[in-house]
Amino acid sequence: MSVKALKGFKDILPGEVETWQRIEQTARDIFQRFGFNEIKVPILEKTTLFKRSIGEATDIVEKEMYTFADRNGASLTMRPEGTAPVLRAYVEHGLQVKKPVQRLYTIGPMFRHERPQKGRLRQFHQLSAEVLGSGLAMLDAEVMAMAALVLRELGLTVSLEINSLGCRKCRPGFNQALVDFLAQHADKLCNDCERRRQTNPLRVLDCKNEHCREQYKNSPSILEHLCKDCREHFTEVRKNLDLLNIDYKVNSFMVRGLDYYCRTTFELLTDNLGAQSAVGAGGRYDGLVKQLGGPDVPGIGFALGLERLALLMEHQGLSSPESKADIFIAALGEEALNRAFILVHALRNAGLAATMDHQGRSLKNQMKQAGRMGASFTLIMGEEELSRNKVILRDMASREQQDLELSTDLSSWAADLKKIINQNPS
Ligand code: HAM
């Protein structure tokens, strides 16, 4: 029996990967415009890193991490998200010294043992961006504008929801109000909320259970419990979003699934992916860098989910086509095969995506193959043509053919052929 991929772990096949490349390329380009530098961080980290940052009483840490003991007995975890590893690297390498405000992004796989469904995987990929070193509300608006621009340049329409979760000063007051409210409704809560009521009350607002959600409609609002500084910060964020013409909606129920957030949080949402409506999310995490042993610098960031973006692109008819060959060489006979072998190399050197059949199949089969590969042109090298030092160039779309004279100077011959192909792209 053949071995299959793990549940929730997906292969990204040719034909799908091109859309992924486009998303990554667009994001890299925009991140660079906003002054971000790429950082690559390991997939495996010490478990304590995530416990200390994401929070012990979160779903991710409680039940979703891929954690195991390595051969020396150390507890390691496959990163469930990118912020903690990037901050760990920032602290470890003292990156604040080089630039007072560091803008870093990373792209790669993350791992969460969730129940797989459309848009929710156990290995998924994030484009994750962090700004470390400034608490200015302008930056909150700027990172949201950057995320929105990635989506816009991909041709996607999503909505932005924002909230403020307050800070260490005002959050306890809200927590208490929420705990009091939950105590009054304890008999109507689902088991998860009943547990969260004790361990991490804020999390209840994230509950997907309809009955719970109904109760929480009348729960206290965090926005009414913000301290003066947090209130002013949130007002500034909204003002700055308006200045940049970014549409948003305030959603005071948005609490996010990670404990490190303070003040601004946000989500980019779509109606087109069923239950998995967030294509991206983020927020401010002032205090986290210090908590991880670094300087006391504020930070803000977000992550976009590549799988969800790719699904959305597909849903909106924006998938990129599978990459194609410019030219396919159909060689007939042994001598042609040998000459094609050298020719295809010259064409690739000249910058063309060139390919050939090595199996000596019939012309009909080779033409079929060229068609299946979506080649724009075919170069037919038959024995008869070669004896006259010629080859036939066929435009696969118009079916027009022309004879081309071969030359001993293969590199300039290939460069000329490239010009012909570029003038007549199919
Ligand atoms: P998050 O909300 O857990 O935030 O994830 C961000 C995005 O990753 C989600 O909006 C979604 O698109 C994608 N995502 C999450 N889990 C899955 C999954 N199981 N399958 C497919 N896609 C998924 C964070 O991870 C934070 N580190 C974001 C951040 C960066 N905050 C500040 N800086």
Q: How far, in Å, is the centroid of ligand 1 from the Cα of 89?
A: 19
Report d(CA 142, CA 150) in Å as an integer: 12
Angstrom CA distances, 83 to 41, 104, 120, stand at: 10, 10, 19
What tokens does 38 get? Answer: 């790429």
The CA-CA-CA angle for residues 211, 217, 219, to 5°, reads: 110
* CB-side neighbour CA atoms (13 Å) of 274: 5
Q: How far, in Å, is the centroid of ligand 1 from the Cα of 125?
A: 9
Helix (H) or strand (E) run with residue 84 in it = helix 83-92
3-state DSSP call for residue 373? coil
Q: What is the pLDDT along the chain (426 residues), one digit of tens a residue?
A: 999 999 999 999 999 999 999 999 999 999 999 999 999 999 999 999 999 999 998 999 999 999 999 999 999 999 999 999 999 999 999 999 999 999 999 999 999 999 999 999 999 999 999 999 999 999 999 999 999 999 999 999 999 999 999 999 999 999 999 999 999 998 888 998 998 888 889 989 988 888 898 889 899 999 999 999 999 999 999 999 999 999 999 999 999 999 999 999 999 999 998 888 999 999 999 999 999 999 999 999 999 999 999 999 999 999 999 889 999 999 999 999 999 999 999 999 999 999 999 888 999 999 999 999 999 999 999 999 999 999 999 999 999 999 999 999 999 999 999 999 998 766
Q: Residue 16's Cα: distance from chain center in Å?
A: 14
Atom of ligand 1 nearest to the CA of 119: 21
> What domains does the chain contain, in order, with CATH numbers?
17-170+226-315 (3.30.930.10), 327-421 (3.40.50.800)
pLDDT of residue 275: 82
247 close to 277: Cβ distance less than 8 angstroms: no
Count other Cβ atoms within 10 Å, centred on residue 180: 11
Report d(CA 205, CA 134) in Å as an integer: 29
pLDDT of residue 313: 97
Report d(CA 417, CA 414) in Å as an integer: 5
Concatenated DSSP letters of 2-29? PPPPPTT-----TTTHHHHHHHHHHHHH
Report d(CA 87, CA 106) in Å as an integer: 11
pTM > 0.85: yes
Q: Which of 258, 271, 251, 226 is nearest to 83 (CA)?
A: 258
Q: Phi, psi (5° rounding) for residue 339? A: -70, -35
3-state DSSP call for residue 329? strand
* CB-side neighbour CA atoms (13 Å) of 269: 16
391 pocket-lining for ligand 1 (C-beta < 6 Å)? no
The CA-CA-CA angle for residues 421, 423, 425, to 5°, reads: 60
**Cβ contacts of 399 within 8 Å, gap of 6 or more:** none
Count other Cβ atoms within 10 Å, centred on residue 40: 10
Count other Cβ atoms within 10 Å, centred on residue 313: 19
What tokens does 246 get? Answer: 């970014």
Q: How far, in Å, is the centroid of ligand 1 from the Cα of 303?
A: 6
114 pocket-lining for ligand 1 (C-beta < 6 Å)? yes
Report d(CA 153, CA 155) in Å as an integer: 5
299 pocket-lining for ligand 1 (C-beta < 6 Å)? no
pLDDT of residue 198: 87
Q: Which of 35, 49, 58 is nearest to 82 (CA)?
A: 49
Q: Biggest alpha carbon distance in the chain? A: 94
161 pocket-lining for ligand 1 (C-beta < 6 Å)? no
395 pocket-lining for ligand 1 (C-beta < 6 Å)? no
Crossing angle for the helix pair 47-54 and 83-92, to the nearest 10 degrees: 110
What tokens does 358 get? Answer: 């090595």
Residue with tokens 């053919």: 401
Strand pairing category for 354-356 and 327-331: parallel
Angstrom CA distances, 59 to 175, 295, 296, 347, 401, stand at: 19, 28, 27, 54, 63
Report d(CA 298, CA 295) in Å as an integer: 9
Atom of ligand 1 nearest to the CA of 278: 10
327 close to 377: Cβ distance less than 8 angstroms: yes
pLDDT of residue 426: 61
